[in-house]
Amino acid sequence: MLAVINVLGSMLMLFSVTYLMPIVTSLIYSDGLFVDFVYAAFGCLAAGAGLVALTRRHKRELRSRDGFLLVTLAWVFMSAIATVPFLIALPGLSFTDAFFEAMSGLSTTGATVLTGLDTMAPSLNLWRHALIWYGGMGIIVLVVAILPMLGVGGMQLYKAETPGPVKNEKLTPRITQTARALWVVYFLITLACIGSLRLAGMNWFDAICHAFSTMGLGGFSTRDASIGAYDSVRIELVLIVFMLISAMNFSRHFIAWQQRSLRTYATDAEARAMFWLLGVAILGVTVYIWMHGVYPSFWTCLRHVAFNLVAFSTTSGFVTQDYAAWPAFAPMVIVMLSCYTCNTGSTGGGIKMFRSLVLLRQATRELFLLVHPQAVTPVKIRNQVVSNHIVFAVLAFVVLYFGTVVTLTFMLLASGMDFISAFTAIIATINNAGPGLGVVGPASNYQGLTDFQTWVCSLAMLLGRLEIFSVLVLLTPTFWRK
């Protein structure tokens, strides 16, 4: 335990560096928050240094279960520390709402309790979006590249935090090189997104903020009306492209960049399934709302469906229209797509396409075995056999996922929330997708929730970002036995 606290202290010291962007932004815009962010940075640095100093004699290589404990503690502590700028700059904001906003950023959920974003201090607005950018690839993966310099190994952290069921695949011989390689790719695509949004019509500040949100698939915006405030087809097309890029496995982007070839994408079963699913869903929902006369022309329907469906299904959560007002079938399809669309190793949330494919292949195998009980039919993905222990792990994850959704939904129902709002709020937060339907729909936000409801949604965001297992394993007696 003390060794975990030692590493946590090192991580908090490194987290203090994240305040540099809002500090510089505050100087540029003279928004009066420079001193506040400096105090917050030094407070974070001092807290980390204090933990390191108190536990310096207990530094050692982490075991696997240390990694699960550390990654959960790190996400909670960093979210708590990230509330400081909100509490200072927005005196009327409660700690509950400030923690929700910080957790929403670091978990790349993009749900917000704040209004008046159009006039918010630039440094505070950038801080919200920077949290998503850091959380997108995973602050822990960033730290994995640096902690070895402090004498601490990182493989256990990488396995505990990296999204998806296949966590032992390494792109380079050393885990630190893998983390750095992923961050280089992440950074370069972010620059491309910033430049594209600027060319599409955004100013530099908005382009940077929205690129951070897009790469982390978080969905925070500098406008209360989100992307709908720009009413620009070019901006929407740029965001669709980069949301799809961010929803794909980043190891594919690294391999494509390393080999200077796009061939790796053609062999990616997850990416192919994602594009087929989105293509069919966009066409189907477009025809559906066009037949119901929601918009005057088919092309207007296609524009609004394509953007909002891609945004929510990739768990980004950007909004241009109040799709909750569409006929009920359409918004429910959009909400449920967020469970399955994103690829393993992406910055998105949900069950992930890999698990969905495994479940589909397993169901197909069981149906086949009913007719041919003596047949040998292994589950295959990417023309490779998926071992039974991975199939069982996927089944266990899905059981825990839906069990968690049901449990948290009933907690919100018990607090007085209506069913549609409660169910979609949990789906949106556990998938790290942002807005739901009902009182938390795209035309509103999470500001109207009670403190209890807000904490339930914060828990859902944490569970979703760390993919449930990493958190729930801490509740088992076996974990704490020596």
Question: Within its chain, how far is the Cα of 206 from the centroid?
Answer: 20
Give pLDDT, residue 372.
85
Residue in the structure block whose two tokens are 């305040």: 19
Residue type at position 222: T
Query: Does the CA dihedral 405-71-176-245 come out positive or negative?
Result: positive
Residue 47 near residue 16, CB atoms below 8 Å: no
- The pair of structure tokens assigned to 453 is 């409801």
Side chain identity at residue 78, one-letter code: M
Residue 384, strand partner residues: 381
The length of the chain is 482
CA distance 74 to 93: 23
Grouping H, G, I as helix, E, B as strand and the rest as coil, residue 384 is strand
Q: Sign of the C-alpha dihedral, residues 217, 355, 180, 51? A: positive
Give, in order, the Cα–Cα distances in Å from 205 to each of 27, 130, 182, 211, 362: 14, 12, 25, 10, 47
Give the count of beta carbons closer than 10 Å to the beta carbon of residue 214: 33
Distance CA 259, CA 253 (A): 10
**Lookup result for tokens 């279960």:** 65
β-strand partners of 381 = 384
Q: How many CB atoms lie within 10 A of CB 395?
A: 14
Closest by Cα among 185, 73, 92, 93 to 137: 185
- Rounded Cα gap, residues 185 and 3, in angstroms: 32
What's the CA gap between 129 and 104, in Å, rounded?
A: 10
Walk along the chain (482 residues) and give the pLDDT tens digit of each residue.
Answer: 777 888 788 888 888 888 999 999 999 999 889 998 999 999 999 998 988 888 887 777 667 677 778 888 888 999 999 999 999 999 889 999 999 999 999 999 989 999 999 999 999 999 999 999 998 877 656 555 544 544 444 545 545 655 555 555 555 556 667 777 888 889 999 999 999 999 999 999 999 999 999 999 998 999 999 999 999 999 999 999 999 999 998 888 888 888 888 888 888 888 899 999 999 999 999 999 999 999 999 999 999 999 999 999 999 989 999 999 999 999 999 999 999 999 888 888 888 888 888 889 888 888 988 888 888 788 887 777 888 888 888 888 899 999 999 999 999 999 999 999 999 999 999 999 989 999 999 988 899 999 999 999 999 999 998 888 888 888 888 877 76
Report how far residue 323's alpha carbon sits from residue 476's, in angstroms, rounded to the nearest whole number.
41
DSSP at 165: S
**Residue partners of 324: CB distance under 8 A and separation at least 6:** 331, 437, 438, 441, 442, 443
Q: Do 400 and 476 form a contact (C-beta atoms < 8 A)?
A: no
Q: Which amino acid is at 218?
A: G
Say how far apart CA 171 and CA 168 lie, in whole Å.
10
Q: Using one digit for the tens of pLDDT, what is the confidence trace for 335-369?
A: 999 999 998 888 888 888 888 888 898 888 889 88
Q: Write out the H or E segment, with its range, that includes residue 188.
A: helix 175-200
**pTM of the complete model beyond 0.85:** yes
End-to-end CA distance of the chain: 12
Which of 9, 80, 16 has its CA nearest to residue 49?
9
Structure tokens at 119: 């006039």
Select from 126, 130, 156 the least CA-distant residue to 143: 156
CB 97 within 8 A of CB 72: no
- What pLDDT shows up at residue 165? 56
What are the residues whose beta carbons fall under 8 Å from the beta carbon of 359, sequence distance 6 or more?
Answer: 394, 395, 398
pLDDT at 257: 84
Q: Which residue has the tokens 């403190």?
A: 451
Backbone angles phi, psi at 459, to 5 degrees: -60, -40
